Amino acid sequence: MQKGYRFRLYPDVDQQTKLRKNIGCARKMYNELVNDEDVNYHLDEVSPLPFGKKRKRLTYTQIKAQFPYMKDVDNLALANAQMNYRAGRKRFFDNLRNPSGRKISLPKKKRKSKAKWSYQTNNQTPKGVVAQNNVNGSVRFSHNYKYIQLPKVGLIKVKAHRRLQQLWRISTVTITQERNGQWYISLLMEIGEITKPEKTGAKLGIDLGLKDFAITSDGVKYNRPNDVALDKKIRRAQRKLSRKYEVAKEMEKSVRFAANYQKQKVIVAKLKAKRAAIRKDFQHKLSWEIINNHDDIRIENLQINNMMKNPKLARAIQESAWYQFTTMLLYKANMYDKQVHKVSMWFASSQICNECDWHCHKFGMTTNEWLSVREWTCEQCGAVLDRDVNAARNIRDTEQVA
Protein backbone atom coordinates (compact mmCIF):
# COMPACT_ATOMS: atom_id res chain seq x y z
CA MET A 1 0.00 0.00 0.00
CA GLN A 2 1.14 3.53 -0.74
CA LYS A 3 0.68 6.55 1.49
CA GLY A 4 1.81 10.17 1.21
CA TYR A 5 3.39 12.39 3.85
CA ARG A 6 4.04 16.11 3.56
CA PHE A 7 6.68 17.90 5.63
CA ARG A 8 7.87 21.50 5.89
CA LEU A 9 11.38 22.24 4.58
CA TYR A 10 13.74 25.00 5.80
CA PRO A 11 16.43 25.36 3.10
CA ASP A 12 19.13 27.99 3.47
CA VAL A 13 19.81 30.58 0.76
CA ASP A 14 22.24 28.38 -1.19
CA GLN A 15 19.89 25.39 -1.04
CA GLN A 16 16.94 27.50 -2.21
CA THR A 17 19.01 28.49 -5.26
CA LYS A 18 19.69 24.82 -6.05
CA LEU A 19 16.04 23.85 -5.57
CA ARG A 20 14.85 26.67 -7.85
CA LYS A 21 17.41 25.59 -10.44
CA ASN A 22 15.98 22.07 -10.36
CA ILE A 23 12.48 23.51 -10.78
CA GLY A 24 13.52 25.81 -13.62
CA CYS A 25 15.39 23.12 -15.55
CA ALA A 26 12.50 20.66 -15.17
CA ARG A 27 10.16 23.32 -16.56
CA LYS A 28 12.64 24.04 -19.40
CA MET A 29 12.79 20.34 -20.31
CA TYR A 30 8.98 20.16 -20.40
CA ASN A 31 8.64 23.31 -22.52
CA GLU A 32 11.28 22.19 -25.03
CA LEU A 33 9.38 18.94 -25.56
CA VAL A 34 6.15 20.93 -26.02
CA ASN A 35 7.79 23.29 -28.56
CA ASP A 36 9.21 20.38 -30.55
CA GLU A 37 5.85 18.59 -30.61
CA ASP A 38 3.98 21.74 -31.71
CA VAL A 39 6.32 22.21 -34.71
CA ASN A 40 6.49 18.59 -35.83
CA TYR A 41 2.82 17.81 -35.26
CA HIS A 42 1.87 20.76 -37.49
CA LEU A 43 4.35 19.63 -40.17
CA ASP A 44 3.02 16.06 -40.03
CA GLU A 45 -0.47 17.44 -40.67
CA VAL A 46 0.46 19.94 -43.41
CA SER A 47 3.16 18.01 -45.32
CA PRO A 48 3.07 14.36 -44.23
CA LEU A 49 6.02 12.10 -44.95
CA PRO A 50 5.57 9.17 -47.38
CA PHE A 51 4.38 5.76 -46.15
CA GLY A 52 2.71 7.32 -43.11
CA LYS A 53 5.99 8.00 -41.32
CA LYS A 54 6.21 10.65 -38.62
CA ARG A 55 9.00 13.12 -38.04
CA LYS A 56 11.37 12.27 -35.24
CA ARG A 57 10.88 14.16 -31.99
CA LEU A 58 13.57 15.53 -29.74
CA THR A 59 14.74 13.19 -26.99
CA TYR A 60 15.68 13.82 -23.39
CA THR A 61 19.38 13.34 -24.21
CA GLN A 62 19.32 15.76 -27.16
CA ILE A 63 17.65 18.52 -25.13
CA LYS A 64 20.08 18.04 -22.25
CA ALA A 65 23.03 18.30 -24.68
CA GLN A 66 21.67 21.64 -26.00
CA PHE A 67 21.69 23.22 -22.52
CA PRO A 68 24.95 22.46 -20.65
CA TYR A 69 23.65 23.96 -17.40
CA MET A 70 21.23 21.02 -17.08
CA LYS A 71 24.20 18.83 -16.11
CA ASP A 72 24.27 20.54 -12.72
CA VAL A 73 20.72 19.57 -11.68
CA ASP A 74 19.08 16.36 -10.53
CA ASN A 75 18.79 14.00 -13.54
CA LEU A 76 15.61 12.46 -12.16
CA ALA A 77 13.93 15.89 -12.03
CA LEU A 78 14.45 16.17 -15.79
CA ALA A 79 13.43 12.55 -16.39
CA ASN A 80 10.18 13.03 -14.43
CA ALA A 81 9.40 16.19 -16.42
CA GLN A 82 9.78 14.13 -19.59
CA MET A 83 7.56 11.35 -18.19
CA ASN A 84 4.84 13.85 -17.26
CA TYR A 85 4.97 15.31 -20.77
CA ARG A 86 4.81 11.86 -22.39
CA ALA A 87 1.79 10.96 -20.25
CA GLY A 88 -0.04 14.13 -21.37
CA ARG A 89 0.86 13.48 -25.01
CA LYS A 90 -0.41 9.89 -24.75
CA ARG A 91 -3.74 11.10 -23.33
CA PHE A 92 -4.13 13.41 -26.33
CA PHE A 93 -3.58 10.68 -28.93
CA ASP A 94 -5.67 8.15 -26.99
CA ASN A 95 -8.50 10.67 -27.00
CA LEU A 96 -8.18 11.13 -30.77
CA ARG A 97 -8.62 7.39 -31.28
CA ASN A 98 -11.36 6.93 -28.68
CA PRO A 99 -13.12 10.25 -27.93
CA SER A 100 -14.39 10.28 -24.37
CA GLY A 101 -16.66 13.31 -24.79
CA ARG A 102 -14.19 15.68 -23.12
CA LYS A 103 -11.78 17.38 -25.49
CA ILE A 104 -8.12 16.88 -24.56
CA SER A 105 -5.44 19.08 -26.11
CA LEU A 106 -1.72 18.60 -26.52
CA PRO A 107 0.35 19.61 -23.46
CA LYS A 108 0.83 23.36 -23.13
CA LYS A 109 3.94 25.28 -22.13
CA LYS A 110 4.42 26.06 -18.45
CA ARG A 111 4.83 29.76 -17.78
CA LYS A 112 7.16 30.72 -14.98
CA SER A 113 4.63 33.14 -13.51
CA LYS A 114 1.69 30.71 -13.68
CA ALA A 115 3.10 27.20 -13.29
CA LYS A 116 3.30 25.41 -9.96
CA TRP A 117 6.83 25.72 -8.60
CA SER A 118 7.72 22.09 -8.00
CA TYR A 119 9.75 19.19 -9.31
CA GLN A 120 9.74 15.42 -8.80
CA THR A 121 12.59 13.06 -8.06
CA ASN A 122 12.89 9.45 -6.93
CA ASN A 123 14.61 7.54 -4.17
CA GLN A 124 17.33 5.27 -5.53
CA THR A 125 19.26 2.65 -3.58
CA PRO A 126 22.44 0.74 -4.55
CA LYS A 127 21.91 -2.60 -6.27
CA GLY A 128 21.48 -5.54 -3.93
CA VAL A 129 20.84 -3.32 -0.89
CA VAL A 130 17.54 -3.43 1.01
CA ALA A 131 15.97 0.03 1.06
CA GLN A 132 15.87 1.52 4.54
CA ASN A 133 14.99 5.18 4.88
CA ASN A 134 17.35 6.00 7.73
CA VAL A 135 20.37 4.07 6.35
CA ASN A 136 20.71 4.42 2.58
CA GLY A 137 19.04 5.74 -0.54
CA SER A 138 19.41 8.97 -2.49
CA VAL A 139 16.55 10.42 -0.39
CA ARG A 140 16.85 9.67 3.30
CA PHE A 141 16.41 11.18 6.75
CA SER A 142 19.36 11.81 9.03
CA HIS A 143 20.26 13.36 12.39
CA ASN A 144 17.20 11.83 14.07
CA TYR A 145 14.77 13.14 11.42
CA LYS A 146 16.03 16.71 11.72
CA TYR A 147 17.44 16.71 8.16
CA ILE A 148 16.64 15.05 4.85
CA GLN A 149 19.13 14.28 2.07
CA LEU A 150 18.16 15.31 -1.48
CA PRO A 151 20.15 14.63 -4.68
CA LYS A 152 22.25 17.60 -5.88
CA VAL A 153 21.08 19.67 -2.91
CA GLY A 154 22.40 17.99 0.23
CA LEU A 155 21.04 17.94 3.77
CA ILE A 156 18.03 20.21 4.27
CA LYS A 157 16.44 20.98 7.61
CA VAL A 158 12.97 19.42 7.83
CA LYS A 159 10.07 19.44 10.28
CA ALA A 160 9.21 15.72 10.27
CA HIS A 161 6.16 15.49 12.51
CA ARG A 162 5.93 11.70 11.88
CA ARG A 163 8.52 8.98 12.27
CA LEU A 164 8.75 6.45 9.43
CA GLN A 165 8.92 2.76 10.22
CA GLN A 166 12.05 0.78 9.39
CA LEU A 167 10.62 -1.26 6.49
CA TRP A 168 8.82 1.64 4.81
CA ARG A 169 10.41 2.75 1.54
CA ILE A 170 10.39 6.22 0.01
CA SER A 171 9.33 6.02 -3.63
CA THR A 172 8.56 9.37 -5.31
CA VAL A 173 9.46 12.77 -3.87
CA THR A 174 7.94 16.13 -4.80
CA ILE A 175 9.52 19.40 -3.64
CA THR A 176 7.26 22.45 -3.82
CA GLN A 177 7.56 26.15 -3.14
CA GLU A 178 4.19 27.66 -2.28
CA ARG A 179 3.12 31.17 -3.24
CA ASN A 180 3.81 32.33 0.30
CA GLY A 181 7.48 31.37 -0.10
CA GLN A 182 7.36 28.27 2.12
CA TRP A 183 8.97 25.01 0.99
CA TYR A 184 7.42 21.55 1.38
CA ILE A 185 8.42 17.99 0.55
CA SER A 186 5.84 15.30 -0.27
CA LEU A 187 6.95 11.69 0.13
CA LEU A 188 5.10 8.82 -1.51
CA MET A 189 5.77 5.81 0.73
CA GLU A 190 5.51 2.07 0.18
CA ILE A 191 4.19 1.07 3.61
CA GLY A 192 2.86 -2.46 3.09
CA GLU A 193 -0.09 -3.53 5.24
CA ILE A 194 -1.47 -1.20 7.90
CA THR A 195 -3.36 -1.78 11.14
CA LYS A 196 -7.08 -1.29 10.53
CA PRO A 197 -9.67 -0.27 13.13
CA GLU A 198 -12.19 -2.85 14.28
CA LYS A 199 -15.54 -3.09 12.54
CA THR A 200 -18.36 -1.34 14.40
CA GLY A 201 -21.32 -2.09 12.12
CA ALA A 202 -22.49 1.50 12.57
CA LYS A 203 -24.21 3.38 9.76
CA LEU A 204 -24.10 7.16 9.41
CA GLY A 205 -25.65 9.80 7.18
CA ILE A 206 -23.96 13.19 6.75
CA ASP A 207 -25.58 16.39 5.53
CA LEU A 208 -23.16 19.18 4.60
CA GLY A 209 -24.24 22.75 5.20
CA LEU A 210 -23.16 26.35 5.64
CA LYS A 211 -24.56 27.24 9.06
CA ASP A 212 -23.09 24.01 10.41
CA PHE A 213 -20.36 22.34 8.37
CA ALA A 214 -21.54 18.75 8.91
CA ILE A 215 -24.70 17.40 10.50
CA THR A 216 -24.89 13.67 11.19
CA SER A 217 -27.90 11.38 11.46
CA ASP A 218 -26.98 10.94 15.15
CA GLY A 219 -27.95 14.58 15.69
CA VAL A 220 -24.37 15.84 16.13
CA LYS A 221 -23.48 19.15 14.47
CA TYR A 222 -19.89 20.12 13.63
CA ASN A 223 -19.03 23.77 13.11
CA ARG A 224 -16.04 24.64 10.96
CA PRO A 225 -13.37 26.79 12.63
CA ASN A 226 -14.14 30.46 12.17
CA ASP A 227 -11.22 32.73 13.04
CA VAL A 228 -12.80 36.19 12.84
CA ALA A 229 -9.52 37.98 13.56
CA LEU A 230 -7.74 36.09 10.77
CA ASP A 231 -10.53 36.84 8.27
CA LYS A 232 -10.27 40.52 9.19
CA LYS A 233 -6.51 40.47 8.58
CA ILE A 234 -7.02 38.85 5.18
CA ARG A 235 -9.59 41.44 4.08
CA ARG A 236 -7.33 44.27 5.22
CA ALA A 237 -4.29 42.76 3.46
CA GLN A 238 -6.27 42.29 0.24
CA ARG A 239 -7.36 45.93 0.28
CA LYS A 240 -3.72 46.98 0.64
CA LEU A 241 -2.80 44.69 -2.25
CA SER A 242 -5.50 46.28 -4.41
CA ARG A 243 -4.24 49.78 -3.63
CA LYS A 244 -0.65 48.84 -4.47
CA TYR A 245 -1.90 47.38 -7.76
CA GLU A 246 -3.57 50.69 -8.64
CA VAL A 247 -0.43 52.63 -7.71
CA ALA A 248 1.68 50.42 -9.98
CA LYS A 249 -0.74 50.97 -12.87
CA GLU A 250 -0.71 54.74 -12.34
CA MET A 251 3.08 54.66 -12.55
CA GLU A 252 2.78 52.55 -15.73
CA LYS A 253 4.84 49.82 -14.07
CA SER A 254 4.22 46.11 -14.51
CA VAL A 255 3.14 44.50 -11.22
CA ARG A 256 5.79 41.88 -11.89
CA PHE A 257 8.44 44.53 -11.17
CA ALA A 258 6.50 46.45 -8.50
CA ALA A 259 8.36 45.55 -5.29
CA ASN A 260 5.66 46.80 -2.89
CA TYR A 261 2.97 44.85 -4.74
CA GLN A 262 5.04 41.64 -4.68
CA LYS A 263 5.77 42.00 -0.95
CA GLN A 264 2.09 42.49 -0.15
CA LYS A 265 1.18 39.56 -2.41
CA VAL A 266 3.34 37.27 -0.25
CA ILE A 267 1.67 38.59 2.92
CA VAL A 268 -1.78 37.79 1.53
CA ALA A 269 -0.61 34.32 0.45
CA LYS A 270 0.74 33.58 3.94
CA LEU A 271 -2.54 34.59 5.61
CA LYS A 272 -4.61 32.51 3.18
CA ALA A 273 -2.28 29.53 3.66
CA LYS A 274 -2.81 29.77 7.42
CA ARG A 275 -6.59 29.74 6.98
CA ALA A 276 -6.36 26.79 4.59
CA ALA A 277 -4.17 24.87 7.06
CA ILE A 278 -6.68 25.43 9.88
CA ARG A 279 -9.51 24.20 7.65
CA LYS A 280 -7.56 21.17 6.46
CA ASP A 281 -6.57 20.19 10.00
CA PHE A 282 -10.22 20.36 11.11
CA GLN A 283 -11.39 18.22 8.18
CA HIS A 284 -8.65 15.61 8.68
CA LYS A 285 -9.58 15.17 12.34
CA LEU A 286 -13.32 15.04 11.62
CA SER A 287 -12.97 12.56 8.73
CA TRP A 288 -10.77 10.28 10.84
CA GLU A 289 -13.29 10.36 13.72
CA ILE A 290 -16.13 9.42 11.35
CA ILE A 291 -14.18 6.65 9.59
CA ASN A 292 -12.91 5.21 12.87
CA ASN A 293 -16.40 4.90 14.44
CA HIS A 294 -18.59 3.91 11.46
CA ASP A 295 -18.51 1.24 8.75
CA ASP A 296 -21.15 2.53 6.31
CA ILE A 297 -21.09 6.28 5.66
CA ARG A 298 -23.45 8.03 3.28
CA ILE A 299 -23.05 11.62 2.16
CA GLU A 300 -25.01 13.86 -0.18
CA ASN A 301 -23.62 14.19 -3.70
CA LEU A 302 -23.70 17.98 -3.97
CA GLN A 303 -23.67 19.80 -7.31
CA ILE A 304 -21.13 22.35 -6.10
CA ASN A 305 -20.56 24.02 -9.49
CA ASN A 306 -24.27 24.77 -9.80
CA MET A 307 -24.48 26.00 -6.21
CA MET A 308 -21.56 28.37 -6.79
CA LYS A 309 -23.68 30.28 -9.30
CA ASN A 310 -25.59 31.83 -6.38
CA PRO A 311 -23.59 35.04 -5.73
CA LYS A 312 -24.86 35.30 -2.14
CA LEU A 313 -23.58 31.85 -1.18
CA ALA A 314 -20.59 31.35 -3.48
CA ARG A 315 -17.93 32.61 -1.08
CA ALA A 316 -19.26 30.63 1.90
CA ILE A 317 -19.48 27.47 -0.24
CA GLN A 318 -15.92 27.92 -1.47
CA GLU A 319 -14.54 28.42 2.05
CA SER A 320 -16.41 25.33 3.32
CA ALA A 321 -14.37 23.06 0.99
CA TRP A 322 -16.97 20.29 0.86
CA TYR A 323 -15.19 18.51 -2.01
CA GLN A 324 -11.94 18.33 -0.04
CA PHE A 325 -13.76 16.78 2.93
CA THR A 326 -15.54 14.23 0.73
CA THR A 327 -12.21 13.26 -0.85
CA MET A 328 -10.71 12.71 2.61
CA LEU A 329 -13.58 10.41 3.57
CA LEU A 330 -13.25 8.42 0.35
CA TYR A 331 -9.52 7.73 0.50
CA LYS A 332 -9.55 6.95 4.23
CA ALA A 333 -12.48 4.59 3.77
CA ASN A 334 -10.61 2.82 0.98
CA MET A 335 -7.53 2.54 3.18
CA TYR A 336 -9.36 1.10 6.20
CA ASP A 337 -11.92 -1.11 4.40
CA LYS A 338 -14.91 1.11 5.17
CA GLN A 339 -17.75 2.10 2.82
CA VAL A 340 -18.57 5.66 1.72
CA HIS A 341 -21.49 6.14 -0.68
CA LYS A 342 -22.68 9.32 -2.36
CA VAL A 343 -26.45 9.84 -2.32
CA SER A 344 -28.32 11.87 -4.93
CA MET A 345 -29.79 15.12 -3.64
CA TRP A 346 -33.26 13.96 -4.74
CA PHE A 347 -33.20 11.19 -2.12
CA ALA A 348 -31.73 13.37 0.63
CA SER A 349 -34.28 16.15 0.87
CA SER A 350 -34.87 18.05 4.11
CA GLN A 351 -38.51 18.43 3.00
CA ILE A 352 -39.36 14.73 3.51
CA CYS A 353 -40.31 13.61 7.02
CA ASN A 354 -37.98 10.80 8.08
CA GLU A 355 -40.67 9.39 10.39
CA CYS A 356 -43.56 8.95 7.93
CA ASP A 357 -42.19 9.95 4.48
CA TRP A 358 -44.63 12.86 4.16
CA HIS A 359 -43.47 15.62 1.75
CA CYS A 360 -44.02 19.16 3.01
CA HIS A 361 -43.53 20.82 -0.42
CA LYS A 362 -41.84 23.80 1.33
CA PHE A 363 -45.24 24.96 2.61
CA GLY A 364 -45.51 27.18 -0.49
CA MET A 365 -42.24 29.01 0.29
CA THR A 366 -39.58 30.13 -2.15
CA THR A 367 -36.14 28.50 -1.98
CA ASN A 368 -34.56 31.40 -0.07
CA GLU A 369 -37.44 31.47 2.41
CA TRP A 370 -37.13 27.71 2.97
CA LEU A 371 -33.40 28.03 3.71
CA SER A 372 -34.22 30.28 6.68
CA VAL A 373 -36.48 27.62 8.25
CA ARG A 374 -34.44 25.51 10.70
CA GLU A 375 -37.31 23.46 12.21
CA TRP A 376 -40.69 22.38 10.89
CA THR A 377 -43.57 20.21 12.08
CA CYS A 378 -44.88 17.31 10.02
CA GLU A 379 -48.61 17.79 9.38
CA GLN A 380 -49.16 14.04 9.05
CA CYS A 381 -47.42 12.55 12.12
CA GLY A 382 -46.81 15.70 14.15
CA ALA A 383 -43.06 15.14 14.52
CA VAL A 384 -40.98 18.26 15.15
CA LEU A 385 -38.00 18.02 12.80
CA ASP A 386 -34.64 19.77 12.65
CA ARG A 387 -34.28 20.21 8.90
CA ASP A 388 -30.54 19.36 8.80
CA VAL A 389 -30.74 16.31 11.08
CA ASN A 390 -33.83 15.17 9.17
CA ALA A 391 -31.90 15.43 5.87
CA ALA A 392 -28.96 13.47 7.36
CA ARG A 393 -31.34 10.68 8.43
CA ASN A 394 -32.88 10.56 4.96
CA ILE A 395 -29.35 10.22 3.56
CA ARG A 396 -28.60 7.38 5.99
CA ASP A 397 -31.81 5.45 5.22
CA THR A 398 -31.92 5.71 1.44
CA GLU A 399 -30.88 2.75 -0.68
CA GLN A 400 -30.37 4.90 -3.80
CA VAL A 401 -26.59 5.26 -3.68
CA ALA A 402 -24.16 6.16 -6.44
Summarised one tens digit per residue, pLDDT across range 142-192 is 888 999 999 999 999 999 988 887 778 888 999 999 988 899 999 998 887
In angstroms, rounded to a whole number, what is the distance separating the alpha carbons of residues 112 and 27? 8
Which region holds residue 75: left if phi is over 0, alpha if psi is between -120 and 50, else beta? alpha
Confidence of residue 357 (pLDDT cuts 50, 70, 90): low
In angstroms, rounded to a whole number, what is the distance separating the alpha carbons of residues 60 and 222? 52
For residue 402, pLDDT over 70 is answered with: no
In angstroms, rounded to a whole number, what is the distance separating the alpha carbons of residues 233 and 86? 44
- Residue 401's pLDDT is what? 66
Q: For 213-267, what is each residue's pLDDT tens digit?
A: 998 988 899 998 888 899 999 999 999 999 999 999 999 898 888 999 999 999 9
Which residues neighbour 249 within 8 Å (Cβ) at sequence distance 6 or greater?
Answer: 255
Architecture field, domain 198-224+274-402: 2-Layer Sandwich (3.30)
- Residue 332's pLDDT is what? 92
Are 158 and 185 in contact, with CB atoms under 8 Å apart? yes
Q: Which residue has the higher pLDDT, 130 or 16?
A: 16
Buried/exposed 49-78: b ≥16 CB within 10 Å, e otherwise: eeeeeeeeeeebeebbeeeeebeebbebbb
- Residue 68's pLDDT is what? 92
Which residues neighbour 309 within 8 Å (Cβ) at sequence distance 6 or greater?
Answer: none
- Residue 380's pLDDT is what? 67
pTM for the predicted model, two decimal places: 0.82
Output the CA–CA distances (angstroms, integers) from residue 265 to 16, 19, 181, 245, in the order listed. 20, 22, 11, 10
> What is the domain partition of the chain in residue ranges?
2-15+117-190, 17-97, 198-224+274-402
In angstroms, rounded to a whole number, what is the distance separating the alpha carbons of residues 219 and 293? 15
For residue 17, pLDDT over 90 is answered with: yes
Q: For 37-78, what is each residue's pLDDT tens digit?
A: 999 888 888 888 888 788 889 998 999 999 999 999 999 999
